[in-house]
Amino acid sequence: MKRPALLVPLAVLLAAQAPPPPPPVGTVIPAADVPMHDPVMIRENGTTYIFATGKGIAVWSSTDLARWRREAPVFAEPPAWTVAAVPTFRGFFWAPDISFHDGQYYLYYAVSAFGKNTSAIGVATNVTLDSRAPDFKWVDHGEVIRSVPGRTNWNAIDPNLVTDEAGTPWVDFGSFWGGIKLVQLTPDRLHVAGPIDALPTIACRMKDPEAPNPPALAGLPVDAGGNAIEAPFIYRRGGRYYLFCSIDYCCRGAASTYKMIVGRADRVTGPYVDEDGMPLARGGGRVLLAGDARWHGVGHCGVYDFDGTTWLIFHGYDATDHGLPKLRLEKIRWTPDGWPRVEIAQP
């Protein structure tokens, strides 16, 4: 895996993790200027909503995908359980995921200590995303799954919900350590359905996912190791499941090396393989999108179908603007044999 030989002090890395302070609630700005990290999106009654990493979970809305309005965050104060699970947590939520089922929206989110697998995934529900509706109210249901240093060789962050052909809910998640994991949920989508001691690895940068963690890049927290893969997203299309992941390093501004890989499987549980037949669980994954001269470290993507178009949403670090993370939306086209292709549109 390509690694830049750049020493980054931890304090600088932590500072680069967060987008700049968001504009006031109600601000409307062009898509290219929206500060963004780890976006996902969904549509309700003609309005598209984005949820993203941020204080209280960042929320944006748009009726045309071109101009975005900042909404109030999901949480005014972090739920009490989050601080109990992660004592250093101060309300800056990571990498949410949004989905709709049986009349409710399900918002999964992560709370974590940076660079450690002291992390947990929680879930909140709402019957509408329109904050002006009389029945708008986020109800938090607490912890779904937690990782514990020394006991779990995976990290409970970056959740993504997917349902299989039978309607069974699953969450894929994870970062570094032992790679990307998959767990089945209960029918109400609020709890894991069984033991978590031997969760399958569906994607990993190591040829042997059971091998010891490789060394971390200089300047990174040692605990995480160098198995630089995270931000999974599973998308169903044409009877197949496509697993998108981000590899290498985010959160370093213009020095970020994030890029996206993809593989596919006939079942949600895998095995996922890339276009060359290489298993993602053993280091496979052809690069779908990497950065260019302006947009560095493109990654943490979601894939959605709106109005006959498949959209790839992600963030990129703008080298023309101090390496700030910003919203990116690009169209996906599909090859005749069913593989996605995307190119970053030039400004």
Bridge partner residues of 67 (DSSP): 30
Distance (Å, whole) CA 264 – CA 273: 6
Closest residue by Cα to residue 299 from 95, 101, 120: 95
Dihedral (CA of 229, 306, 294, 324) sign: negative
Buried b (16+ CB within 10 A) or exposed e, 98-127: bbeeeeebbbbbbbbebbbbbbbbbbbbbe
Catalytic-role residue among 38, 140, 158, 248 = 38
343 catalytic residue (yes or no): no
**3-class SS at 201?**
strand
Among residues 71, 140, 143, 230, the one annotated as catalytic is 230
Strand order in the sheet with 67-71: 28-30, 67-71, 58-62, 47-52, 40-44
**Tell me, what DSSP letter sits at residue 64?**
S
Alpha-carbon span 246 to 210, nearest angstrom: 20
Give catalytic status of residue 230 as yes or no. yes
**Run of H or E including 13:** helix 10-17
Amino acid, res. 319? A
Give, for 14, the enclosing helix (H) or strand (E).
helix 10-17
Catalytic center residues: 38, 230
